[in-house]
Amino acid sequence: MVKQLLYKNSNKKGLSAIITTLILIALSIVAVALVWTFISVLIKGNIKSSEACFGNYEKITINPDYTCYEQIGGNYYLRFALSIGDITPEEVVVSVSSSSEVKSYRILSKASSVAGLTMYPTGNTSVILPGKNSGLTYRTEVFTGKFDMVRIAPVLDGTQCDVSDTISEIADCTLMV
């Protein structure tokens, strides 16, 4: 009888090595597919923003010949000129810093009012980006300190690109000829 019990238990087989191997291979394939899906979504998002900005940095610049500051009383005003090459940005973000403050302006491709910014020399408060292969000059509102830096960052295809141009030496307009 003991012999029969031992014999009955020995007839029960576990999973064979082939089935175990197939299950491990299937689990590995599923894991690789999940990781690939997650990574490809991240990569596609980064590629889209890189494609929008790639090769366009030198096409949107600050024209140093028409960028200067005016001092009237104790207040400072900045004139800066944007030049746009063979490109049509949706907008340009302009960051102006002085010794006492930093202000940002969003200049759109459609005429709009931008707080603290006017067109120069007209003084028109309806501000617009220059068209392709052209430039325009703007004047900021009152600053209480001398200007340190002007930076611009274009927005292309819904993506704000990195800073494309910077001017850190801003001349006095009365000294420019």
The per-residue pLDDT for range 84-124, each reduced to its tens digit, is 999 889 999 999 998 888 999 999 999 999 999 999 999 99
- Distances in whole angstroms, Cα of residue 52 to Cα of each of 48, 57, 104, 105, 162: 6, 11, 22, 21, 11
The pLDDT score that the predictor gives to residue 29 is 94
- For the chain, the straight-line distance linking the first and the last C-alpha, in angstroms and rounded, comes to 116
CA 28 to chain centre: 38
Which residues, in sequence order, are bridge partners of residue 71? Answer: 76
Backbone angles phi, psi at 160, to 5 degrees: -80, 120
Report the distance separating Cα 137 and Cα 159, nearest Å: 24
DSSP state of 23: H
The contacts of residue 153 (CB under 8 Å, 6+ apart) are 92, 93, 95, 160, 161, 162, 163, 164
Q: Assign 66 a pLDDT band (cuts: 50, 70, 90).
A: very high
Where is pLDDT greater, at 141 or 138? Answer: 138
The pLDDT score that the predictor gives to residue 12 is 55
67 C-beta neighbours (distance < 10 Å), count: 22
Q: Is the pLDDT of residue 4 over 80?
A: no
What radius of gyration, in Å, describes the C-alpha atoms of the chain? 32
The pLDDT score that the predictor gives to residue 28 is 95
DSSP state of 89: -
The pLDDT score that the predictor gives to residue 141 is 87
| Nearest alpha carbon to residue 59 among 150, 136, 132 | 132
Supply the pTM of this predicted model.
0.71
Residue 176, both tokens: 């420019």
